């Protein structure tokens, strides 16, 4: 879902960068020193999880799990996703440095929304799966919408590509929702204090 | 996982101060990404190739990286020339191909590859820890650099944990298919990894406290700027700017 170097116009890159800086600033401000290792190691785990390929019919898709990142980390999702994308750009050349702002915001802002969405559901243990499902699915859909806006603001003729992007991400959103729901139910069973 | 295969080497670019490399990289990126002309983008690609030759990177590994990175670009070549409204057109069978669309796709491809070449030759030639160190010198918040450092350190550890769980699952006859059972298995696998990371993070924090951690890593070794660093930084930035000014 991350846009490569050289695609977006400088204006769009700047706006994405400013939004991401805002999120990073707030995220870093509310992180306590004792939480630093937790956020770092969870980020590594999500980085590893994004290498897992899930079969969907004849093809496969890698996990994104930005909804789950949000549910577990809240605003700290901004630094976590930002650094994850830096490593992907540096180590695998996925995404890129100039598009870091746009890509981070497109993934991390929906993650923060998942955090608030899930907190509405988490007191009712029967609705836990539903809350996590919505959080996980919403994070992919909203993220794809942000990416689409960035592409369309750059170039109107990206429209057919944006349509393809949105249609292919719909099944991915459902699967991400199911997996997020299952992970949260598992955590609830095994170590409920993780979900606070 | 071998993550830093390009950081090993002894070329000029491997020896340049990482701070200088980060600055020249940022200058290169910001000018290159705002290029609208095919000729300018092509010159940036040539300059990227030139940096690559100085960095003496392993060609086979490099080719694999470039192929993977151009995957997204492939979609642009499929969609843009067919849907761009710009004239003139030429027709191939039932499809109308826009020339403007083609030049847009070509421009994106040139810029993308130029920046990737610069990333590989300027940033990937330093190891992650010296880049983190350089970030501290640039006054990047210590919290962010601390997460950066630990994040990178634990990628390989968590990847080994993942492989271990995966082996256990496969040993019990798990086959990955499109069904609920597969999704559940992967979800529980991720859940188990998350629990391991909570436990691991707790241990790390206690170990750090025992060693007197106060919220940041003190810098013990310092970079020293040499003449060659300054000359490289100056010339490299100059080239990036001159290309942009079409000189």
Give the pLDDT confidence score for residue B60 in this predicted structure. Answer: 86
Do the chains contact at A93 and B69, CB–CB below 8 Å? yes
List the single residue in A with minimal CA-CA distance to B126: A90
- ipTM of predicted assembly, 2 dp: 0.91
Confidence of residue B20 (pLDDT cuts 50, 70, 90): very high
- Distance CA(B58)–CA(A131), nearest Å, equals 48
- Could B186 and A52 be called an inter-chain contact, meaning their C-beta atoms sit closer than 8 Å? yes
Decide: helix, strand or coil at residue B179: coil
pLDDT at B198: 92
Looking at the predicted structure, is the pLDDT value of residue B83 above 80?
A: no
Q: What is the pLDDT of residues B42-66, one digit of tens each?
A: 999 999 999 998 888 888 888 888 8
> Which pLDDT does position B154 carry in this prediction?
92
Residues 18-57, chain A: which have Cβ within 8 Å of B?
24, 28, 31, 33-34, 36-45, 47-49, 51-52, 54-57
Distance (Å) from the alpha carbon of A182 to chain B's nearest alpha carbon: 6
A152-158: long-range contacts at Cβ-Cβ below 8 A with a sequence spacing of 24 or more? A153/A9, A153/A11, A153/A12, A154/A7, A154/A8, A154/A9, A154/A12, A155/A9, A155/B80, A155/B104, A156/B85, A157/B80, A157/B83, A157/B84, A157/B85, A157/B86, A157/B101, A157/B104, A158/B79, A158/B80
Mean pLDDT, range B196-218, rounded to an integer: 89
* pLDDT number for residue B128: 86
pLDDT-derived band of residue B87, with 50, 70 and 90 as boundaries?
low
| A37, A94, A194 member nearest B204 (Cβ) | A37
**pLDDT score for A133:** 96
Low-confidence ranges of chain A (pLDDT < 50): none
- CB distance from B157 to chain A under 8 Å? yes
Which residues, in sequence order, are CB contacts of B73 under 8 Å at separation 6+? A4, B105, B108, B109, B112
Q: Tell me the C-alpha distance between A121 and B28, whole Å.
A: 47
Q: Who among B72, B114, B200 is closest to A41 (CB)?
A: B200
Q: What pLDDT was estimated at residue B247?
A: 62
Cα A128 to Cα A114: distance, rounded to the nearest angstrom = 13
pLDDT value of residue A92: 82
- Share the mean pLDDT of chain B: 87
Judge whether B215 is closer than 8 Å to chain A, CB to CB: yes
The reported pLDDT for the residue numbered B26 is: 93
Contact residues, B window 180-209, toward A, CB-based 8 Å cutoff: 180, 182-184, 186-198, 200-202, 204-205, 208
The one-character DSSP state at B221 is S
pLDDT value, residue B1: 65
Residue A23, token pair as written in the block: 């999120």
Helix (H, G, I), strand (E, B) or coil at A4: coil
pLDDT reported for residue A69: 95
pLDDT confidence of residue A107? 95
Chain B (74-133) residues lying within 8 Å, Cβ to Cβ, of chain A = 75-76, 79-80, 82-86, 101, 104, 107-116, 119-120, 123-124, 128
Q: How close A183 comes to chain B (CA, Å)?
A: 5
Query: What is the set of domains in chain A, with CATH numbers?
Result: 10-189 (1.10.1760.20)
Give the closest of B79, B176, B201 to A37, CB-based: B201
| CB pairs < 8 Å spanning A and B | 228
Q: Is the pLDDT of residue B89 over 80?
A: no
Contacts of A55 in chain B (CB under 8 A): 176-178, 182
User: DSSP readout, A148-163?
Assistant: HHHHHHH-GGGHHHHH
Q: Which residue of chain B has the CA closest to A59?
A: B178
Query: Å from B46 to nearest chain A CA?
Result: 15
User: What residues in A contact B186, CB-CB < 8 Å?
Assistant: 52, 54, 63, 179
Q: Cα(A12)–Cα(A102) distance, rounded to whole angstroms?
A: 8
A168 inside 8 A of chain B by CB = no
């Amino acid at each position: 879902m991350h846009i490569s170097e050289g695609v977006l116009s400088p204006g769009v890159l700047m706006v994405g960068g400013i939004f991401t800086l805002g999120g990073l600033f707030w995220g870093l401000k509310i992180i306590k020193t004792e939480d630093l290792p937790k956020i770092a190691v969870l980020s590594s785990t999500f980085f590893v999880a994004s290498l897992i390929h899930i079969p969907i019919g004849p093809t496969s898709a890698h996990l994104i799990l930005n909804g789950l990142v949000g549910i577990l980390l809240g605003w700290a999702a901004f630094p976590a996703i930002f650094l994850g994308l830096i490593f992907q750009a540096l180590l695998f050349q996925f995404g890129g440095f100039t598009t870091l702002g746009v890509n981070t915001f497109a993934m991390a802002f929906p993650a923060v929304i998942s955090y608030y969405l899930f907190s509405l559901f988490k007191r009712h243990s029967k609705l836990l799966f539903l809350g996590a499902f919505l959080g996980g699915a919403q994070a992919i859909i909203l993220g794809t919408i942000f990416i689409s806006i960035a592409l369309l603001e750059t170039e109107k003729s990206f429209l057919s590509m944006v349509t393809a992007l949105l249609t292919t991400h719909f099944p991915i959103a459902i699967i991400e929702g199911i997996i997020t729901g299952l992970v949260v139910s598992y955590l609830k069973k095994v170590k409920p204090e993780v979900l606070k | 996982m071998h993550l830093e295969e390009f950081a090993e080497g002894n070329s000029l670019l491997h020896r340049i101060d990482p701070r200088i490399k980060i600055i020249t990289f940022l200058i290169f990126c910001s000018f290159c990404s705002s290029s609208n002309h095919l000729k300018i983008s092509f010159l940036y690609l040539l300059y990227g190739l030139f940096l690559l030759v100085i960095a003496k990177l392993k060609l086979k590994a490099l080719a694999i990286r470039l192929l993977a990175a151009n995957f997204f670009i492939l979609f642009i070549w499929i969609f843009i020339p067919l849907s761009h409204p710009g004239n003139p057109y030429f027709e191939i069978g039932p499809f109308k191909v826009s020339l403007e669309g083609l030049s847009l796709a070509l421009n994106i491809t040139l810029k993308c590859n130029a920046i990737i070449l610069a990333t590989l030759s300027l940033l990937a030639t330093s190891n992650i820890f010296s880049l983190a160190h350089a970030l501290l010198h640039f006054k990047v918040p210590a919290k962010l650099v601390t997460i950066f450092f630990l994040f990178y350190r634990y990628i390989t550890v968590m990847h080994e944990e993942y492989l271990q769980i995966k082996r256990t699952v496969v040993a019990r006859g798990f086959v990955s298919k499109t069904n609920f059972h597969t999704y559940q298995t992967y979800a529980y696998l991720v859940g188990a990894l998350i629990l391991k990371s909570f436990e691991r993070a707790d241990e790390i924090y206690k170990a750090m406290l025992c060693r007197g951690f106060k919220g940041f890593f003190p810098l013990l070794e310092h970079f020293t700027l040499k003449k060659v660093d300054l000359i490289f930084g100056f010339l490299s930035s100059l080239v990036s700017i001159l290309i942009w000014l079409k000189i």
